Amino acid sequence: MADNPVKISDTTFRDAHQSLIATRLRIEDMEPIAAEMDSMGFYSMEVWGGATFDVTTRFLGEDPWERLRTFRKLIPNTKLSMLLRGQSLVGYRAYADDVVHAFVQHSAETGIDIFRVFDALNDVWNLETAAAEVVKSGKHLQMAICYSVTESGRLGGDIFNLDYFLGKARQFVELGADSIAIKDMAGLLAPYDAFELVTALKAELKVPLQLHTHYTSGMASMTALKAIEAGVDIVDACLSPLALRTSQPAVEPLVVTLRDTERDSGLDFDKLVKMSDYLETALPRYKSFMESPRAAVIDPRVLKHQIPGGMTSNLVSQLREADALDRLDDVLSEIPKTRKDLGYPPLVTPTSQMVGSQSVSNVLFGRYKMVSGQVKDYVYGLYGRPPAPIESEVMQTALKDYEKGQTPISEKPSATLEPEMDRARDAVKDISSDTGDVLIYALYPTTGLKFLHIKHGQEEMPEDMKNVGRVTPTTPAPQKQAAVQETPAASEFARTFNVFVDGERFEVVVDPVGGEERPQAPQGGKPAKQSEKPKQKVKTSHPDAGPDDVVMPAPMPGLLLRYLVEEGAAVNTGDSLVVMEAMKMENTLPATASGTVKKLTLVAGASVKKGDVLAIITP
């Protein structure tokens, strides 16, 4: 046994797949190795919270509470950990205190041992209620400090310096923290900065210190090692198939690196490899969620844009759906500017979604021409106090015509909220009275309600929800007997291509059917460049639209949450007409013409593609 073994918290079943495959790993692909993971000797296993709650209900058709019960049954000997977003719980806004009380209590009763509680702004206002409820439950309260830097990319400066982090640690201990975590969600913590920060925190704290970092910038393994040398008690890592890129360091090389040292983890390398081999067989079914336009394992640009791992995969996915993946570099360049405008919030859920989605809107539609409801709430103060002042012009733009007022609040955000649990119980009383179901609705009134209808047999589960991560058998179509024909000779338009398959080269000839000519080169120039992918065409008509009617197309893909007007209402150009969710943010879309609303073409909860007609207006 080592004199001071470092403890390992495994993230394979939560943050690892959240970071690499958009949280799509199904419980059925984790169950086969859960008991073996339990026998490894991990300090804890992070299995729940973060985006898992949303994704299970929205995309996988799984009950998140049942997932937790399954983990508890299969993993009886290892502490189960979850990530809790303070007053935002596992959602994207601040919830009333009664929702926080109920959620923490039910999570504790269902199987969570360690609550890692954080706030995107490191604001104690947003942590007090959740922290007190965890303490009341008798479970382990781990308070996480969100690590961040400014444009310098290093520890220090006027905002995120050593005094800032030490001050936060003191505040969190006063809230009753049983341990403190450094939460480096974007891999920004440089190795020698980690040594300095951990050394200072260890000298200050009497509770254990844990490090959570991501590999995005390529520094995570070095950072973890320097933190271990500085005396950190626990580090987060995961099995290698779900490690690196935007995820955590791999546990296997860390175990070997520390072997026979005073910090030897004591974990069995061969058992780890065996479980990793199993994951290698399961992950190909999630290949579509692993796609990335980047070939490199690391993204050094994260030191500028600072978007955390889970957000990066979502950002790429959203831009692809919006047929705007070619604007990714523009969005990444915009993110630091938007973050500065908004007072340098650390980029972690939900502020990462706010800054990321606002940056996408700024690039696609013009800076602050469209501001999401969440960004308006943030500027108003409903997410707490940012580390630096918000730019005054941005504040004025965001709060112009804002329903709650134009002057930001200066009190604890949850103090402005009315209790929500009774309304949630009433809303689902005809479906269920189960506390878990009520909480699903309270957290996600639109997608949660849809899931509850599916769960209780009131609605069929969509095929795309059934098929995520599963091999779907297909029956081949009957083959017709082909008529015997002579192979025609290649035309003058035929071209020869090299095709590479699994490292082998094949030479093939491609000849356009009908002898269609290739694009001709401009006179005296090179052949015209063809677009790799045709841009989606925005719909300009609808079966119910007359020749003089104006159709209002969706400017982006997302979810239609609600209409703000009724058919027959008179509207002016710019009037708020419909609320859509895109990138988990609510966006209010204005009427594109003045007149009478002839038809609202969709229903609440409908999935919307870019260009889908949302409304028809008769001028």
pLDDT higher than 90, residue 5: yes
Average of pLDDT values for 491-520?
A: 59
- Indicate if the pLDDT at residue 486 is higher than 80: no
> What is the pLDDT, as a whole number, of residue 585?
74
pLDDT in tens, 216-259: 999 999 999 999 999 999 999 999 999 999 899 999 999 999 99
Q: Where exactly are the structural domains of the chain?
A: 7-290, 302-414, 421-467, 550-618
**pLDDT tier for residue 589 given thresholds of 50, 70 and 90:** confident
> So what CATH class is 7-290?
alpha beta
Residues in the chain: 619
Determine the pLDDT at residue 483. 41
Q: How many alpha carbons lie under 13 Å from residue 376 in its C-beta half-sphere?
A: 20
7-290 and 550-618, same CATH topology: no
pLDDT per position as a tens digit, 544-567: 888 889 999 988 888 898 899 999
For the stretch 57-91, pLDDT in tens is 999 999 999 999 999 999 999 999 999 999 999 99
In whole angstroms, what is the distance from residue 8 CA to residue 212 CA? 11
Tokens standing for residue 42: 């991990």
Residue 538 has pLDDT above 50, yes or no: no
Render pLDDT for 251-297 as a digit per residue (tens, 0 to 9): 999 999 999 999 999 999 999 999 999 999 999 999 888 766 566 67
Element (H, E) at 506: strand 504-510
pLDDT value at 160 more than 70 = yes
State the CATH architecture for 550-618. Answer: Beta Barrel (2.40)
Class of domain 302-414: mainly alpha
Q: How far apart are CA 584 and CA 381, in angstroms?
A: 19
Give pLDDT tens digits for 435-445. Answer: 999 999 999 99
Q: b/e map of 379-415 (b: 16 or more CB within 10 Å)?
A: bbbbbbbbbeebbeebbebbbeebeeeeebeeebbbe
Check: pTM over 0.85? Answer yes or no. Answer: no
